[in-house]
Amino acid sequence: MEAGKTLLGVDTQASLEAVLGQAKAQSACDVVVASGDIVHEGTPAVYQRFLHTVKRFFDVPLLCLPGNHDVLANMHDARLPMQAITLGPWLIAPLDSHVDNEPSAYIASDDLLELTQAINASDAEFLLLATHHPMVEIGAPWLDKDRILRVDELTNAIAATPGATLCGTIFGHAHQEIEATSNYGPLLGSPSTCFQFAPKSEKFSLDDKAPGYRWLFLAADGCITTKLERLTTHSFKPTMN
Ligand SMILES: [Fe+2]
């Protein structure tokens, strides 16, 4: 979005800055992960503004995932960082689940190869996987139809890759809080930094909850703990109709 423009009544640049500001006031962090659908109009200039905005608040390694509203070539042109990050014994690694302008998840063999190569190349003990789409049904049919499918096959292949042990997965896309479990650790979805989707909705439905973010604490023994936060002052309610 151009600066000052709104999407469903929300100034998404302002809500992003409010989220980053509240998070910074709470705590420092080591890494920021942006879980996709980073912009609505994916021009290189808007991606550059996103990058500068994040760096103003957190000058730490950043991992950006492409979502279905993103334009991957323009993310590359804007030099958004999209590579795996090593943090102590952890590897935080992306798996591209997106296709430009196509809502459904799709994981190309090259995308999986890129992930397994990153795992192979790392000395890390533990893997935190980051995708855009959920790997789990969330009870909202209009979102569930686009989730990552054949999850067992996928996660078994990742887990069988020599190197870091898969300990959990984080994702975006669903614009709501999701905490599920799997054979390979927690599956954690984050709220959006702009408007939220209504949980368990049959079709596209907005929620008036505040924009939010998720803290992740990656322990030295491979455990993940997490805390979800929302803006304490909520002035970014979307146009509900
Ligand atoms: Fe998405």
Per-residue pLDDT tens for 81-90? 999 999 999 9
CA of 241 to the centre of ligand 1 (A): 21
CA of 109 to the centre of ligand 1 (A): 20
Interhelix angle 44-57/12-26, nearest 10 degrees: 20
Q: Does residue 238 fall inside a structural domain? A: no
Q: Does residue 92 fall inside a structural domain? A: yes
CA of 174 to the centre of ligand 1 (A): 7
Q: Does residue 240 fall inside a structural domain? A: no
Strand partners, 102: 99
What mean pLDDT is predicted for residues 130-136?
98
pLDDT per position as a tens digit, 25-83: 999 999 999 999 999 888 999 999 999 999 999 999 999 999 999 999 999 999 999 99
Give the structural domain span for 214.
6-230
CA of 240 to the centre of ligand 1 (A): 19
pLDDT per position as a tens digit, 88-127: 999 999 999 999 989 999 999 999 999 999 999 999 999 9
What mean pLDDT is predicted for residues 18-26?
98
Confidence of residue 239 (pLDDT cuts 50, 70, 90): confident
Q: Does residue 235 fall inside a structural domain? A: no
Does residue 3 or residue 190 have the better pLDDT?
A: 190
Per cent of the chain over pLDDT 70 is 98
CA of 42 to the centre of ligand 1 (A): 13
Confidence of residue 241 (pLDDT cuts 50, 70, 90): low
pLDDT at 202: 94
CA of 14 to the centre of ligand 1 (A): 20
Q: Does residue 11 fall inside a structural domain? A: yes
pLDDT at 36: 97
Q: Is the pLDDT of residue 9 over 90?
A: no
pLDDT at 6: 86
Does residue 40 or residue 4 have the better pLDDT?
A: 40
pLDDT per position as a tens digit, 134-186: 999 999 999 999 999 999 999 999 999 999 999 999 999 999 999 999 999 99
CA of 116 to the centre of ligand 1 (A): 23
CA of 162 to the centre of ligand 1 (A): 30
Number of structural domains found in the chain: 1
Q: Is the pLDDT of residue 236 over 90?
A: no
Q: Does residue 42 fall inside a structural domain? A: yes
- Domain of 148, CATH number, reads 3.60.21.10
Q: Does residue 94 fall inside a structural domain? A: yes
Instruction: Give CA separation, 29 vs 17, 25, 48, 146, 168, in Å.
Output: 16, 11, 22, 31, 19
pLDDT per position as a tens digit, 184-219: 999 999 999 999 999 999 999 999 999 999 999 999
CA of 123 to the centre of ligand 1 (A): 31
